[in-house]
Amino acid sequence: MKTLEDYTIIYDSECPLCNAYTSAFIKTGMLDIHGRQQYTPQINQQWLNVDPVRARNEIALVNKKDNTVHYGIDSLFKILGYNLPVLAPLFRLRIFRLIMTKLYFFISYNRKVIAPGVSFEERTSCTPEFNVSYRCAYLIFAWLMTSIVLVFYARLAVPLISNSNLAREFLICGGQLLFQGAIVGLVRKDRLIHYLGNMMTVSLIGALLLAPMFLLTGIIQSPWLYSGYFMLVVAFMFAEHARRTKTLALPWLISLTWVLYRFIVLGIITISSYA
């Protein structure tokens, strides 16, 4: 790899995703050992041209020679394009840049609910501004992906887990948004949108953990195996949900109602199957 010298990337040290890829830039030699720096609200006192508000939303890459600044996807394209010149023409394509910019913002504006730090977002941290469009897009994306995976997974565990369809799973997942949203809204309305993002991330994580089991369908046909694995994933999801609610300074009750909703749904499905 060629090292892009005299550049410093300003990253969110509390974001596991940001930590991972900026660290990879250093370890692979794309940036030199002094090529990244933690964000602080006073960052523009050191780098005069850095917009501290925009740098929370879009990672900033500063040219230390002339103090010019690249933001967001342009920062990543600058680093990758220097190290992989063959990709430079692709990075200049208008449609590709548009798609990648939208994807970048989709992740960046939701990064605190995708991979939260050890403490809740604070004004002094590198917290992106709240964007209702990208948050809603994320909730819908996680909602749909989770529903699709559950439809196909339920078929592996029949008859131990009742067969399902997309409409039912979509309604169940949407119902939990409303159920938990109503409770959190009563307890701490200011944390509602943050909680819903975290809750749907937990659901998405569960779906991603279930998905690899589809590779075994041609080898193993035991519904007991798939049901048992499903319960292990649910247990992990509960632990992760509890961890995230604690980070959000929400009461333990929220994790209990998260489980209660599932029991209510299970009861309704069981009764309807015998009706």
pLDDT value of position 273: 53
Overall pTM > 0.85: yes
Q: How many helices (H) and strands (E) does the chain have?
A: 12, 4
DSSP string, 85-100: GGGHHHHH-HHHHHHH
CA angle (127, 128, 133) in 5-degree steps:
145
Distances (CA, A) of 166 to 99, 110, 215, 230: 28, 26, 21, 18
- For residue 28, the SS3 value is coil
Nearest to 17 by CA among 100, 145, 117, 102: 117
Mean pLDDT over each residue of the chain, to the nearest integer: 90
Full strand arrangement of the beta sheet holding 36-38: 36-38, 7-11, 60-63, 69-71
Task: Tell me if the bond preceding 159 is cis, omega within 30° of 0.
Answer: yes
3-state secondary structure 190-254: HHHHHHHHHHHHHHHHHHHHHHHHHHHCCCCCCHHHHHHHHHHHHHHHHHHHHHHHHHCCCCCHH
pLDDT value of position 27: 92
> Going residue by residue through the chain (275 aa), what tens digit of pLDDT does each one get?
678 888 999 999 888 888 899 999 999 999 988 889 999 888 878 877 889 889 999 999 999 988 899 999 999 999 999 888 899 899 999 999 999 999 999 999 999 999 887 777 666 678 899 999 999 999 999 999 999 999 999 888 787 777 778 888 899 999 999 999 999 999 999 999 999 999 999 999 999 999 999 998 878 888 899 989 999 999 999 999 999 999 999 999 999 999 999 888 877 776 665 55
